[in-house]
Amino acid sequence: MTSYAVRDESEGTVTLNYLNSRTWDCRGQASGTLDAALVAQTGSFYLFAGNMAYSGGSRIGCRCRIMSFTMTRGDEVVMDLIPVRRKVDGKPGMYDVLNDVFYVNQGSMDFVEGEPLLPEGYIGLDFIESTGTQYVNTGVKCASNVTMQAKFYNARSASKHFMGVRTAYQQNALGLSFQVENGSEGYCVAWGSKVVQKLLGRSLTEGVGDRFHDFTFGGQYLLLDGRFGNSAIADQSFASDLDIYAFTVNNGGTPHTQMSAIRIAGLKMYRNGSLVRDYIPVMPTNSLAPGLYDLQNDVFYGNVGTGQFLAGDIVRGIDAPDAFAGEGFPVSEIVGTAFETKSFAVRDTGVYRLWFQYKGKGGTGHSLAAQMDGQSLGTVTTSTTNGWTAAHFDLRLGNGGHVLALQGASAGKSTVVDSVTLRCLRKMPSGLTIVFK
């Protein structure tokens, strides 16, 4: 990924797919404008809005997306703008690659930014999910001036630690967990030597397997989905030389024994208000092992635990369509040892990912076997009654017709399957042989 040096800041920028201007309310008061500093008549040229120079510089705003903007004077190109996010403060704006100038929003609020453009060799994922043995070392040291913003889904964890660090119990602690103990259950946040139980009074049934939540924690005030917690923590000052872990807590230098099973869709980390990590879930095309990519520093962070992260649906980074697009897969519930099949064809020889989510109906221990063209891909087994579990298999398919089969492997038990997708990860040139072991 190219990091452009900008004139007013030396931290660089992250290229975005587009910028979407915002309006304040239905009356159309525009909030996003850029003053491009080119004199037209007696006023500057505005982008995302019109500069009504004849009426004292008032503006008429619009809501639109801009992926690029080039301006010429005669036959000469004088400005070439692309949408970017400035790394030093995370502000979206437009960068003039011709004149090395970054233009920030001149109106109120912020621009709505598009998805970041991924560097070559990475596929964007909706989320990555731990199964209880995977975690990421962020490399950010524990301190009272560190805060985090995380978007995650508690897949099936009760009394587990999601992310953070501590030197010992309630010592130099900074973390988030879900606890069920001493008659109290809910989200808990640790800061310094204090722990706030039952953040916003969330119950276990609301906490596990319901949906993605937005958390902001670190410091005295805690937020869940934009709402302040039910109490504040007294001001403290602390620090340690331990790194913050994601998907578990760094407990004195080793992963906590209560490792979590959660899905992370995004994670930002700040020190003294400055962005130091900006993680999005990705999968490298060379290893197919999911992890987190830090857009702030252009670094990939893979699993440092055991096993492999589960991958959410592919959202960008490949040009091959879903093999089931427009047709779907006719599976909703598989009873006992029954099976469902799907005949389909692919155009390109390559590595494909079969992805689906499943859950047992009325209990755990429900097994489901996946086959492609009569060959076994593997078997998955439900271990919880709380929400869905994601599963995927990577395989090589040649161009032409294929048959996928999902079959129940537990007599007398029903397994519900949803969101079955098959996406191409990498196209293969003819004559190349890939061996999966």
- Do the Cβ atoms of 42 and 48 come closer than 8 Å? no
DSSP-derived 3-state class of residue 195 = strand
- CA 130/CA 110 separation, integer angstroms: 33
- The 3 state secondary structure assigned to 261-316 is CEEEEEEEEEECCEEEEEEEEEEECCCCCCEEEECCCCEEECCCCCCCCEECCEEE
Instruction: Give me the amino acid identity at 372.
Output: M
Task: Please indicate whether the domains covering 123-315 and 333-427 agree at the CATH topology level.
Answer: yes
How sure is the predictor about 98, in pLDDT bands with cuts at 50, 70 and 90?
confident
How many degrees, rounded to 5, is the angle at CA 328 between CA 263 and CA 265? 15
Instruction: Give me the amino acid identity at 402.
Output: H
Which parts of 167-229 are beta strand (E)? 173-181, 184-192, 194-196, 212-217, 223-224, 227-228
Q: Domain extents for the chain? A: 13-113, 123-315, 333-427
- Do the Cβ atoms of 288 and 295 come closer than 8 Å? no
- The residues with which 104 forms a beta bridge, in sequence order, are 93
The predicted pLDDT at position 21 comes to 54
Average of per-residue pLDDT values in the chain: 77
- CA 385/CA 360 separation, integer angstroms: 7
- CA 51/CA 66 separation, integer angstroms: 18
- Do the Cβ atoms of 115 and 141 come closer than 8 Å? no
- The residues with which 147 forms a beta bridge, in sequence order, are 270
The predicted pLDDT at position 9 comes to 35
Q: Is 317 left (phi over 0), alpha (psi -120 to 50) or beta?
A: left
- Residue 245 confidence (pLDDT) above 60: yes
- CA 255/CA 304 separation, integer angstroms: 10
How sure is the predictor about 143, in pLDDT bands with cuts at 50, 70 and 90?
very high
- Domain 123-315 sits in CATH at 2.60.120.200
Which candidate, 296, 256, 303, 262, places its Cα nearest to that of 280? Answer: 296
How sure is the predictor about 303, in pLDDT bands with cuts at 50, 70 and 90?
very high
- Do the Cβ atoms of 264 and 128 come closer than 8 Å? yes
- CA 116/CA 270 separation, integer angstroms: 19
- The residues with which 398 forms a beta bridge, in sequence order, are none
pTM for this prediction: 0.64
Lowest mean pLDDT among 36-45, 99-108, 170-179: 36-45
Q: What is the pLDDT of residues 370-413, one digit of tens each?
A: 999 999 999 988 766 556 677 888 888 888 889 999 988 888 78
Tokens of 190: 């640790």
- Domain 333-427 sits in CATH at 2.60.120.260
How many degrees, rounded to 5, is the angle at CA 247 between CA 243 and CA 248? 60
- CA 230/CA 202 separation, integer angstroms: 10
Instruction: Give me the amino acid identity at 412.
Output: G
The predicted pLDDT at position 256 comes to 92
How sure is the predictor about 145, in pLDDT bands with cuts at 50, 70 and 90?
very high
DSSP-derived 3-state class of residue 53 = helix
Q: What are phi and psi of 347, to 5 degrees?
A: -85, -35
